[in-house]
Amino acid sequence: NNIERINELVANCNLPDEDLKVLLTTLNKSEEEYLYAKSSEVAKSVYGNKVFFRGLIEFSNYCKNDCIYCGIRRSNKNVERYRLNKDDILVCAKAGYELGFRTIVLQSGEDLSFNDEYICDIVKSIKDEYPDIAVTLSIGEKSYESYKKYYDAGADRYLLRHETINEKHYEKLHPEEMKLSNRIECLKNLKEIGFQVGCGIMVGSPYQTVENIVEDLRFMKEFEPHMIGIGPFIAHKDTPFKDEKSGTLEDTLHLLAIIRLMLPKVLLPATTALGTINPLGRELGIKAGANVVMPNLSPTNVRDKYMLYDGKICTGDEAAECRMCMQRRIESIGYEVEVSRGDYVDFAN
Ligand code: 5AD
Ligand code: FES
């Protein structure tokens, strides 16, 4: 039964595909509670009773890609495009530093006007000014050489969700020119170069099956990323998926918990998308085994332009407000805010 499956998962950090599938589809309320008790216990045994803070700067919503699900895809003509320059980004980073953040995540669409030199210049400037900050990049698919330059400039981590490991499914979510094989190649290159690397998927993306999720779990178990970004798919009104339904809170929480048990050391955010589908989504995510939150540091005048999906929360809140709001939320469920860099537990650099 499911309690035995959960126990086996706790003991082995693994479970046969068929049992994963059953767990993902048949948990009742009391089994669910048992699962979250185990997954949060494992998270605490590795990282303590703490939630890591990352300050997110969304510095450009220009994107050369046309992912079907994404609100800032290039063919969405209703987006007011913006890009921050180096000075703007440094102002945000300073504000973040003063609010206590020791990880800054720089995220954007795939905006080719930020060439490698410019990205490296920005990374170097942040690292020179604040040597105790970890810089995470989340700027998409690049060549090995580009990644290496970012790393040599001082970038510590890189987030690149693989979105789905199933090729057929990947093709349904992306235009023809985008290839799953390239994305996986990118992830391998990032790891080889020495980044702490994050992959991840959306839960309940159109055409996703439970078999696909099991395949993703298999892939992630094998790839052993340092970070995993998991949030529900949420439709965006200006995309071809506008009428598709969102991923559910339950499915997302189940998956967070299972990932925590399969990869006990992984850094696992309770995402903004999870907070968007349910007002207490992020808190529930932490109780299911997530241990990272990423409050927004972007200037308020661009916040509402970085809309990957409808209804995104926090678009009107100043960085300091989000910082304090998240702290309250975390403390309300009995956790502590951890503002140190928060590297992967036994990362060797
Ligand atoms: N709903 C939820 N998540 C989305 N992302 C992009 N579009 C959506 C959407 N409509 C996620 C993708 C991407 C990350 C930056 O945001 O997984 O990798
Ligand atoms: Fe942004 Fe609550 S985290 S307002």
Q: Which of 254, 255, 256 is nearest to 291 (CA)?
A: 256
| Structural domain includes residue 185 | yes
CATH of the domain at 23: 3.20.20.70
| Structural domain includes residue 348 | no
Its domain, for residue 312, covers 2-338
| Residue 346 vs residue 143, higher pLDDT | 143
Whether complex ipTM tops 0.85: yes
- Close Cβ partners of 10 (under 8 Å, ≥ 6 residues apart): 38, 42, 261
Q: What tens digit of pLDDT does each residue of 20-77 get?
A: 999 999 999 999 999 999 999 999 999 999 999 999 999 999 999 999 999 999 999 9
- Ligand 1 centre and the CA of 188: distance in Å? 21
* 105 Cβ below 6 A of ligand 1: no
Core vs surface per residue 219-242: b (16+ CB within 10 A) or e: bbbebebbbbbbbbbbbbebbebe
- Give the DSSP H or E segment for 167: helix 167-173
Q: What tens digit of pLDDT does each residue of 84-124 get?
A: 999 999 999 999 999 999 999 999 999 999 999 999 999 99
Q: What tens digit of pLDDT does each residue of 239-255 get?
A: 999 999 999 999 999 99
pLDDT tier, 348 (very low <50, low <70, confident <90, very high otherwise): low
| Structural domain includes residue 344 | no
Q: What tens digit of pLDDT does each residue of 169-206 get?
A: 999 999 999 999 999 999 999 999 999 999 999 999 99
d(CA 130, CA 287): 32
Stretch 310-332: mean pLDDT, rounded? 94
Place of tokens 């696992």: 268
| Structural domain includes residue 247 | yes
| Structural domain includes residue 312 | yes
d(CA 150, CA 295): 24
* 273 Cβ below 6 A of ligand 1: yes
* 159 Cβ below 6 A of ligand 1: no
Cross-strand partners of 231: 202
d(CA 270, CA 33): 18
| Structural domain includes residue 347 | no
Identify which ligand lies nearest to the alpha carbon of 293: 2
pLDDT tier, 339 (very low <50, low <70, confident <90, very high otherwise): confident
pLDDT tier, 347 (very low <50, low <70, confident <90, very high otherwise): confident
| Structural domain includes residue 346 | no
Show contacts of 310-318: CB within 8 Å, 24+ apart.
310/71, 310/234, 310/235, 310/236, 310/237, 311/234, 311/276, 312/272, 312/273, 312/276, 313/272, 313/275, 313/276, 314/272, 314/275
Show contacts of 275-279: CB within 8 Å, 24+ apart.
275/313, 275/314, 276/232, 276/234, 276/309, 276/311, 276/312, 276/313, 277/232, 277/234, 277/246, 277/247, 277/248, 277/249, 277/252, 278/249
Instruction: Work out how many domains the chain is built from and give that number.
Output: 1
pTM: 0.98
| Structural domain includes residue 343 | no
Give 68-86 as a DSSP string.
TT-TT-TT-TT----B--H
The residue to mutate among 101, 293, 314, having the most atoms of ligand 2 within 8 angstroms of its beta carbon, is 314
* 322 Cβ below 6 A of ligand 2: yes
- Ligand 1 centre and the CA of 4: distance in Å? 34
